[in-house]
Structure 1
Amino acid sequence: MATFLVIQAARFGDVVQTGRLLRTLERRGQVHLAVDAGLSALARLIYPFATVHGLALHGCQEQEVLEKNIRVLSGWRSTEFTTVYNCNFSGLTAALCRMFAPETVVGYRPAADGIWRSPWARMAFQLSGQRVLSSLNLVDFWGHFTNDPLPPAEVNPVAAPGGQGIGVVLAGRESRRSLPVPLLAEVVRTAFSAMGGPRVRLLGSSAEKNVARKLQKLLPPKMLDRVEDLSGKTDWPGLVDAVSGLDALITPDTGSMHLAAHLGVPVLAFFLSSAFAHETGPYGQGHLVWQAERHCVPCLESAPCPYDTACLEPFCSQALLRSLTLALTEGTERAALPEGLQLWRSCVDSLGAVLHLVAGADRHAARRAQVREFLASYLDVPFVPSADEAESITISGEANSGLAWLFDEWLCRDTDWMLPPGRYC
């Protein structure tokens, strides 16, 4: 039987977003998954089929990584892995891959001049040079590390209310990507009213306890007996229990959002600053994302904002709350949004996750559709553009312009075509 090792040493959300790759490999053999030790319990919960290995990585230097993980690595030495999938462009994980034959490592491995990237990983790095034109969800990036991955519609359940009320993720890891508490309170009040007064669960770590207190002070007194503050009170099993069966999860771009999508919980997501729904939006069918749209979005969260987070301004419009009410009651057909704000519904096609614009304007629609068409061709995936994509290309007048603009030293270079596409991920 084939035996696979997947190394995913990044954060909570990244572990969940590796699901397409892991579930594909589950159908082909035995799966081992290496994660940061603090995420081991979560990984075992959401991937019960995998043998999970916890790695000591935090505060670890590259030269220490082998020594600190000697117990795990000794077990790896006695296992003959058919393929090792290293999902992280990282010196630490590349160092771990030194113990494997180079030809068995997919993704990233050590090289004399740094870290070697496979052709598919190199292609994605080039795509990130113009992130606003991205049409590739991170789940699908990792999913296509292997040939013929699990069909996108089989990765996560179709989103459906579970009868357990509303979940509210209080904040994300990067504060600039989260709605301010007063605005979040308006969103929660609006959803509470539109959904007929269900129970509300506030979700977050101990660091968000103060946010929970501030939020509750801004909610109407009649709501408070329906609010349960779980900030800082859930371990990984507790978080899974708290999210499972919700009718909706209100959230920025967070690991809890990806967990909800994994569980089939409808997501109501708010993306601004460096968060970009085409890259890291909730995976599957039936989620909604309100996305900021500015010349500077998406930005780098590590860099200071020179515009005083101007991408937040459209979220303060009453039109946002009206569109939320429509989405939770009669549907999004009549939703209208101010300039600088879009509303997307998540769908899937043969390549992976794709977003359908239901309100707002998308000036990049045509080129994003062409990038998607190109990526499907590169991966040898049979692809028919959605009606939205085909229409946007035609309206823009680019229907017959071909893909030449993709090859102007941005997306493709000659070396990318030296190996059969999609085969040596």
Structure 2
Amino acid sequence: MNVLIINLTRFGDLIQTQPVISGFARAGNRVGLACVDNFASATSLLRDLDTVFPFPGARLLSLLDKNWRESLGAICDYRDMILSSFTPDVVVNLTPSVPARLLSRSLEASRVCGFSLDEHGFNADTSPWAAFLQVAGNNRGSSPFNICDLFLRAADLNGDPEGLRLADPGAEHVRTAKKLLHLPEIEHAGFVALQPGASEERRRWPVGRFAAVADELWQQRRLVSVVLGTQGEAALGKRIEESADCPVMNLQGRTSLPELAAVLRQCCLLITNDTGTMHLAAGMGTPVVSVFLATAQPWDTGPYREQCLCLEPDLDCHPCAFGAACAKDNACREAVPVEAVSAAVRRVLDGEGEVVSGARAWVSQFDEQGFLTQNSVSGHGSDDRTRWIELQRVFYRRFLDGDSLEGLSRFGDEMSPQFVEALQSTLSSARDYLFLMQQQGALLARNPRDTLKKKFMASWQQLQNILTENPSLEVLSSLWLFESQQQGHDFSALRKVIDRYAALVAAIHDLL
């Protein structure tokens, strides 16, 4: 069969599509990929691909500004190009945007996984996992699942025990990397890569601290630091060069994506913020120490490979909510000390079980169900936040797979009484309103009176208010809102959603 995967997002998410590509290829399928043309060169790093269809995103946006009819015609031309050479039997759309949904539906494959549209133009997600993937994209600080696992489940695939393993760099790119790293005038023991950039300033660990770690690695191990990133991040690299008292090679803006992959292969370690380079290093098999600040957290966007070490501030307010201004003047940027990163580096390079202090530190590992998880190496494994994340992984996995929520062991004894009491209070109120909506729904099905409709909608709004008030239930609140609104045009389907969530809320309450 021909399987077309649609991922019209950024570089890091494109790289994280690899487990889905390989999952379908292992089953004997031919696999094609539709991606934004800006990142088409990165597809040489992906294994098991038979063909690639670069999506002309910038051109289509330009046409939209001039004439939407021309833009629509260009989309149809793009669809026809795919159909002329790779008629898909299965379409896997991992991008919830309207253009990606339109493309997914217009290809008229016999099977669609992920995001599409129904015959009326409403969003049509093919599974609860797809709905969770969309919700997680807007609430990544709260998601208990790695984005690669969400991609796999939305595609109706199981976890990949290999993790993220990309294609080997080509011989010409390896030669270029070795030439860039040629340093005959200095006796050294190898290279360590630094990526000081990130998508936002508040998600960047201070440049001076990168320089301090570079100094330490040179003094103690004779490792030369190699600064990576784009030309637009060159000022960060220059500041590291000026601050460090050790040899520093600045390759920012000097490599293509395949050459960057080859450079990472030559390095014994990458120290980075939450970036696309982090995922590329994981895919190259290069050990990773990464710092997660502001909205970033490792359970969701950490590298999809075992034995990577992720650090985050040991602050109650971390991670930040998306779209919200920081009330503490981005204090988390200063909250991960050099000593914590140095300890993480020693643990990774020396293979010893050193306890990391000064930050929340996690080592990645696959659990028994094949999902990536995080194990604390800083003494935070028994915190309320950690236990709550672990509990969510248990009940959401069953809920989204459609499995029974019965027979789960109590979990509340492992969290503080105050935390459990706050959750139970919210869940008890939510359970009552879901029961009320079940009763109101049964009455409406028999007699759809306007007064009862108003009461039903008032109950729905009150339930949403209750869930939103507890930040620990952010995922549940967003998922309920999304799924209930999705079925707003189909009352029978909405009643089934209410029944599902009534069972889920009752099960969580009882587990506590």
Equivalent residues of 2:79, 2:107 under 8 A apart: no
Deviation of residue 128 (structure 1)? 6.7
Higher relative contact order (CA 8 A, sep 6+): 1
Root mean square deviation of aligned Cα:
3.4
Relative to structure 1, is the Cα distance of residues 130 and 155 closer, same or farther in structure 2, using a 3 angstrom cutoff? closer
Work out which of the residue numbers 67, 73, 94 in structure 2 matches 1:67. 73
Partners in 1 of 2:104 and 2:212 — Cα distance?
A: 49
2:92 aligned counterpart, secondary structure: strand
Counterpart amino acid of residue 20 in structure 1: P
1:314 deviates by 1.7
Question: What letter is aligned with 1:73?
Answer: R
* Residue pair 1:21, 1:146 contacting (<8 A) in 2 also: yes
| The one of 179, 183, 187 aligned to 2:213 | 187
Letter in structure 1 aligned against 2:307:
G
Q: Tell me the residue number matched to 1:307.
A: 328
Measure, in 1, the Cα distance between the counterparts of 2:134 and 2:258. Answer: 35
- Give the counterpart letter for 1:358 in structure 2: V
1:219 aligned partner: 244
Report what 1:95 is aligned to: 102
Cα distance, 1:257 vs structure 2: 0.4
Secondary structure of the corresponding residue to residue 360 of structure 2? strand
Superposition map of 1:10-409 within 5 A: 10-28=9-27, 29-58=29-58, 60-61=60-61, 63=68, 65-78=71-84, 79-101=86-108, 104-111=111-118, 112=120, 114-118=122-126, 119-126=128-135, 132-149=141-158, 151-156=159-164, 165-194=191-220, 196-220=221-245, 223-224=246-247, 227-300=248-321, 302-316=323-337, 318-322=339-343, 324-325=345-346, 327-329=348-350, 331-337=352-358, 341-349=359-367, 350-361=369-380, 362-378=383-399, 380=401, 394-396=413-415, 405=427
Instruction: Give me the identity figure in percent.
Output: 24
Q: 1:417 to 1:347 in 2, by over 3 A?
A: farther
What is the CA distance between 1:80 and its match in structure 2?
A: 2.9
- Shift of residue 394, structure 1, vs aligned partner: 4.8
CA contact (8 A) 2:5 2:93 kept: yes
Q: Structure 2 stretches of 5 or more lacking a match?
A: 167-188, 404-408, 432-466, 468-475, 485-495, 501-512
Cα separation, 2, equivalents of 1:326 and 1:122: 38
Counterpart residue number, 1:415: 497
Extract unaligned runs of 5+ from structure 1: 383-389, 419-425
Instruction: Please state whether the residue corresponding to 1:60 is helix, strand or coil.
Output: helix
Query: C-alpha separation between the residues in 1 aligned to 2:411 and 2:305?
Result: 22
The answer (yes or no) to whether the contact 1:319–1:336 under 8 Å persists in 2 is yes
Describe the SS at the equivalent of 1:156.
coil
2: CA distance, partners of 1:126 / 1:46: 27
The aligned amino acid for 1:52 is V
Q: CA deviation at 1:323?
A: 5.0
Aligned-partner Cα distance in 1 for 2:352–2:498: 44
Structure 1 range deviating more: 118-127 or 264-273? 118-127
For residues 57 and 126 of structure 1, do their structure 2 counterparts lie closer, same or farther at Cα, with a shift above 3 Å needed?
A: closer
The number of residue pairs the alignment matches comes to: 397
Distance 2:72 2:402 in 1: 38
- Is the Cα contact below 8 Å between 1:269 and 1:290 reproduced in 2? yes
| Structure 1 stretch displaced more, 264-273 or 86-95 | 86-95
More helix per residue: 1 or 2? 2
* 1:198–1:65 Cα change, 3 Å: farther
Give yes or no for contact 2:314–2:335 (8 Å, CA) kept in 1.
no
Q: Find the residue that maps to 2:259 and give its secondary structure.
A: helix
Q: Is the 8 A contact 2:141 2:296 kept in 1?
A: no
Q: Which has the larger radius of gyration?
A: 2
Partner AA of 2:74 in structure 1: K
| Counterpart code for 2:129 | W
Paired residues of 1:344 and 1:357 also in contact (CA < 8 A) = yes
2:459 aligned partner = none
After superposing the two structures, state which structure 1 stretch, 91-100 or 328-337, moved more. 328-337
Using the TM superposition, name which of 366-375 and 70-79 deviates more: 70-79
Shift of 1:240: 1.4
TM-score, reference length from structure 2: 0.69
**Which amino acid is 1:371 matched to?**
Q
Distance 1:332 1:291, change over 3 A: farther
Provide the secondary structure at the position in 2 that maps to 1:368.
Answer: helix
Q: Matched residue of 1:311: which SS? A: helix
Maintained 8 Å contact 2:362/2:375: yes
The superposition leaves residues 184-207 of structure 1 with CA deviations (integer Å, 9 ceiling, x where unpaired) of 21232234445x112322111111
Bigger shift: 48-57 or 26-35? 48-57
Cα deviations by residue, 1:366-405 (Å, 9 ceiling, x for unpaired): 22111111233235599xxxxxxx998653279x999995
Tell me by how many angstroms 1:65 deviates: 4.9
Q: Normalising by structure 1, report the TM-score.
A: 0.82
Distance in 2 of aligned mates of 1:206 and 1:49: 29
The change in CA–CA distance for 1:280 and 1:381 in structure 2 (over 3 A counts) is farther
CA distance in 2 between counterparts of 1:109 and 1:246 reads 41
User: Is the 1:323–1:336 contact (alpha carbons within 8 Å) kept by the matching residues of 2?
Assistant: no
Using a 3 Å threshold, how does the CA distance of structure 1 residues 304 and 379 change in structure 2: closer, same or farther?
A: closer
In the alignment, the residues of structure 1 paired with residue 223 and residue 340 of structure 2 have an alpha-carbon distance, to the nearest angstrom, of 23
CA distance in structure 1 between the aligned counterparts of 2:379 and 2:137, rounded to whole angstroms: 24
Alignment partners' CA distance in 2, 1:234 and 1:180: 24
Paired position in structure 2 for 1:385: none
Write the distance in 1 (CA, Å) between the matches of 2:402 and 2:305: 19
How far did residue 183 of structure 1 move? 1.8
Q: Which amino acid aligns with 2:54?
A: G
Distance 1:128 1:255, change over 3 A: closer
